[in-house]
Chains A and B, each alone.
Chain A
Amino acid sequence: MTAVLEATTSTTVEAPRRAWRSFLRHRMGVIGAAMLGIALLVAAFAPLIAPYDPYASVRVNIGDIYQAPSAAHVLGTDDGGKDVLSSLLYGARVSLVVGFSAAAIALVIGGLVGIVAGYRGGWVGSLLMRITDFFLVIPDLALQIVLVAIIGPSLGTIIFVIGALGWTTTARLVRSQTLSVRERKFVMRARAIGAGDAHILRRHILPAVLPLMLANMVLVISLAILSESTLAFLGLGDPTVISWGQMLNFAFDRGAVSAGAWWALLPPGFAIVWVVLATTLLGTALEDALNPRLKRHHLEAPGSDVARDRTVPALVPPLAEAEAPILRVRDLSIEFDVGGRSLRAVDRVSFDLRRGETLGLVGESGCGKTTTVLGILRLLPPGGRVVGGSVLFDGEDLLSLDGRALRSFRWTRLSLVFQGAMNALNPVRTIGDQIQEAIRLHAPGTSKADAARRAGELLERVGIGRRRANEYPHTYSGGMRQRAMIALALACDPDVIVADEPTTALDVMIQAQILELLGGIAHDFGMGIILVTHDLGVVAQVCDRVVVMYGGVVAEENDAATLFASPQHPYTQQLLQSFPDLAHPDRPLRGIPGSPPRLDAMPSGCRFAPRCPHVFDRCVNEPPLYPAAGGRASCFLLDPAERRP
């Protein structure tokens, strides 16, 4: 499920967020760069803009000390009767020189350690990382104080000490980046054709690592500036130069607080904040731009996941049937907001699921299968919403349930088996505990013992055995986790189970066992099952009916036997040809060239037209929609009005 969700979310849900956030970050980066630019200009032209020379020695008169701001001294005077503004402007030089030089040293050391540790690996790599770990444990400031105190507080010493202790984060970052580049295909290939280490490092590793290193350097600069000002405040600054930390040290130690001389304290303090803020903003923006971290968020309060205000012409006329199906989906349409546009991911999908029936929902990745299912379950990710249609479950419209009713509906009537059960089970709670939670949530009177007994029975039923109820998911094998997930889905005896790619990532033997288990359960408990899969072999094994989806619409629907015997839609035909057929083992396998359409580039006519071998004019101009086009597939070839040779 993850893969499918990713496929849809990366292009749809997260995109507007990403655009907005990268804009925000970009703006923050621009502000940071501008603030840093101003600081650099001030540092460069300090002698020109400063009203006094703070390095000139003057005789101090008592009356000159801590003078309040005036026309002569815009920011007043300090403990030595000197102009605060002038010292402030000159102080920018020390901060920036120390910041940039120390960061450069840290970058060289950290870069070398990181690249060697990541590229060489082996004992050299682990030794280097152990050393890095050691320096991460030693508190920076304490060691800086000791070193500067022992060596002597000159500007050079301070730069060296800050740089020589500030490389650990860079080393870790560079190492992980080097590791990931080293394992990539093009590097493996280069190595396979005999490229030397120097070549690979220069051509492949460095270009990938350098941008991140530079972004990181900006952050290291902010740390170095903070360190320098802290050392200076603690009395370990170079006594021959004027720095902001030292100004604060002198003012604080020499009575500025009791003299109420805020002008001697606030300006240097906020000058430090200014440059640290500038470099932090810039560095964070650069890192994010180079290495965007997108995050799904399953708990984000959805604005509203159902907004059926559109007037979309229904494709299915309302019909009365003697026996209502347990689940009836009609003209379900789902849209995602992408960059201010609403993109239709699922378009007027209709199907029925009868009690005890197993329905296969088939198609390639990105065809809207999982989105359809999540829409039915009201579990769409933020940014996605149902814009039309209805989902009738046992006669009740799921799309109009409110929060409380929805919660008590979930799992008691309809439950889920996710793909890749590792992540679908909570790693820090036992399997039994997770099953009991569902039981006791929906039957609040159940005692702990009863719930535990029932959980044990369920685990027996899926072939795990009750003894393992108290174990954590990581002690289970992949197949067992999938079984545990099925046991969890059975916890509240639902009418329908939706299984989303339940056998993906399992080996063939285990796949067969899981399918057999699902089939057996459907039979024993009389449950309806919706099986979402891209694997036609799986469908042939267990499904009674099949819905084939393509590009967010239903391409074809039929009972399984008929569909496999005489597929109508060219897409179904080709899909069948791309799977091995046990009845005709000598039939050549053929893949379908091309890939499903992207949401933001949906063909205006038939969605399969670009890949269809039988395409003709009408297909490109007008969409054939099932079942309006007639027949059991959405294809003009089946339109009796269409006279084709």
Chain B
Amino acid sequence: MSGRGGYLLRKVGWALLTVLVVITFNFVLFRVLPGDPAKSGLRDPRLNPAAVEALRERFGTDKPVFVDLEADNPFDSQFTAYLGALSRADLGTSYAFRDQPVSDLIGQALVNTLWLVLPSQLLAIILGSVLGLFAAWRRGRALDVGALTFSLFMWSLPTFFLGIILLVAGAQWFGLPTAGRVTIGANYADVWEAALDIGSHLILPTLTLTLVLLGEYMLIMRSSVLDVFGEDYILTARAKGLSTYRIIRHHALRNAMLPMVTLIALNLGFTVSGAIQVEAVYSWPGLGALTVSAVADRDYPVLQGAFLLIALSVVVANLVAELIYGWLDPRVSEG
């Protein structure tokens, strides 16, 4: 395959394959390990007999795990039952939150997580790119050394610890809210008041996540820009009589953004890890906090669903980054 269409097809195909593998992995992981929602549910004292029977039915625990070639219908198995349920967006019922479908729980949590992650990601990418660019341009100068030191320190600082420090400082000196998404029991007079309340709850978690991501993106941008500055076409641009500003704007920036896009995609796991920790510290009701509380509650259906959603979001975000790359770089038809 060649050309942009081919590139697109390849990337989408790879993403679909990854999704399949993730789904299978998610099934096997919870089926072979002691945390099987089917088995644990059958024993969970919190569920009534009717619910247990529904579980047995849903998971098909009397059926083979993958295939049974001896049986009349070899594909009538636990795995196909799981796939069938997934296709109906049925992820089971939470143990801890009685009668709540897992899909509702994690759907709401995903929305909350995106409220936190998207602004942080955007801020960190913009600030990181600008600072990384300046650090590379002034390699070895004060700004560069400062940027490197900051990145190194941010890297060594566990996200949850940074969260704690900012939480204490923010609450102490600025009186900012430190837990949850809204003030509990608040009655808002109008929409603006509600927005203000949610916004003030967002400040500290967003700040923490932005700082953590910023160090990483700054380093990536710096080394990416340094690579580009060493290229011969930059020398050509100088010889042509372009000013340094024009060289950076018209010749260096776009080329430097290419590896940035790839590396941001590769770093999504890092973003997820940061978000989980920030949510835990600030009790932000997102996917990360839900995962952690599901662990504490031994709420395996929620754990399984949340993990699946996290993994799938990363695959999708990765695909988006690949497509942006294809749009930015005319050479993709080569590779």
Contacts and interface: CB of A to CB of B under 8 A. Distances in A.
A22 B137 CA distance: 20
A458 B255 CA distance: 26
Contacts of A488: 236
Given A140-B269, A230-B273, A248-B160, A146 B303 contact: yes
Interface in A405-449: 406-412, 415-416, 418, 420, 423-429, 437-438, 441-442
B208 interface: no
A226 B155 CA distance: 10
Nearest to B250: A437
Contact of B266 (A2, A136, A233, A420): A136
Contact of A252 (B35, B152, B164): B164
Given A235-B296, A442-B241, A474 B34 contact: no
Interface string B236-275: 1111111110111011101100100000001011001100
B235 interface: yes
A643 interface: no
A280 B155 contact: yes
Given A149-B35, A300-B139, A295 B230 contact: yes
Interface string B271-315: 011001100110000000001100110000001000100110011
A235 B160 CA distance: 12
A147 B29 CA distance: 8
Q: Which of B230, B236, B268, B276 has the most CB of A within 10 A?
A: B236
B18 interface: yes
B161 A423 contact: no
Interface in A280-303: 280-281, 295-301
A139 interface: yes
B70 interface: no
Contacts of B25: 138
A297 B243 contact: no
A142 B255 CA distance: 33
A138 B23 CA distance: 12
A296 B277 CA distance: 39
B268 A139 contact: yes
Interface in B214-246: 226-227, 229-244, 246
Given A139-B273, A248-B164, A424 B158 contact: no
A277 interface: yes
B101 to A, nearest CB: 20
A415 B231 contact: no
B22 interface: yes
Given A147-B33, A442-B241, 11 more contacts: A137-B314, A139-B310, A149-B35, A150-B35, A226-B158, A269-B161, A379-B239, A415-B240, A437-B250, A472-B331, A488-B236
B158 A299 contact: no
B303 A299 contact: no
B326 to A, nearest CB: 12
B330 A427 contact: yes
Interface in A125-158: 134, 136-143, 145-147, 149-152
Contacts of B331: 427-428, 472, 474
B156 interface: yes
Contacts, number: 217
Contacts of A2: 232
A225 to B, nearest CB: 9
A138 B164 contact: no
A1 B333 CA distance: 28
Contacts of A407: 241-243
A43 interface: no
A195 interface: no
A149 B30 CA distance: 11
Contacts of A280: 152, 155-156
A150 B33 contact: yes
B292 A136 contact: no
B29 A297 contact: no
A272 interface: yes
A272 B241 contact: no
Nearest to B138: A301
B226 A295 contact: yes
A362 interface: no
Given A230-B160, A424-B235, A428-B329, A139 B311 contact: yes
A297 B229 contact: yes
Contact of A139 (B238, B254, B314): B314
Please give me the 6 A-B residue pairs with the lowest Cβ-Cβ distance, nearest first.
A150-B35, A410-B241, A141-B273, A139-B272, A296-B230, A423-B232
B233 A379 contact: no
Contacts of A147: 29, 33
B254 A428 contact: yes
Nearest to B254: A428
A443 to B, nearest CB: 12
A147 B292 CA distance: 12
A150 B39 CA distance: 13
A416 B251 CA distance: 18
B229 A234 contact: no
B123 to A, nearest CB: 21
Contact of B156 (A230, A277, A474): A277
B324 interface: no
A625 interface: no
A337 to B, nearest CB: 14
Contacts of B237: 426
Nearest to B266: A136
Given A142-B291, A235-B292, A441 B240 contact: yes
Given A427-B330, A428-B328, A149 B303 contact: yes
Q: Which of B34, B237, B281, B315 has the most CB of A within 10 A?
A: B237
Contacts of B307: 142-143, 146
B296 A411 contact: no
A262 B169 CA distance: 11
A273 B307 CA distance: 29
Contacts of A438: 240-241
Given A149-B303, A252-B164, A299-B247, A415 B311 contact: no
A424 B280 CA distance: 51
Contacts of A300: 139, 229
Contact of B232 (A410, A420, A442): A420
A74 interface: no
B168 interface: yes
Interface string B13-43: 0000010011001000110011100000000
21 contacts: A17-B140, A138-B311, A139-B310, A140-B269, A141-B273, A145-B276, A149-B295, A150-B30, A230-B158, A230-B159, A234-B277, A245-B158, A280-B152, A280-B156, A298-B238, A299-B252, A412-B241, A427-B331, A428-B331, A429-B251, A472-B330
B157 interface: yes
B241 A248 contact: no
A605 B86 CA distance: 84
A277 to B, nearest CB: 4
Contacts of A298: 229-231, 234-235, 238
A501 to B, nearest CB: 12
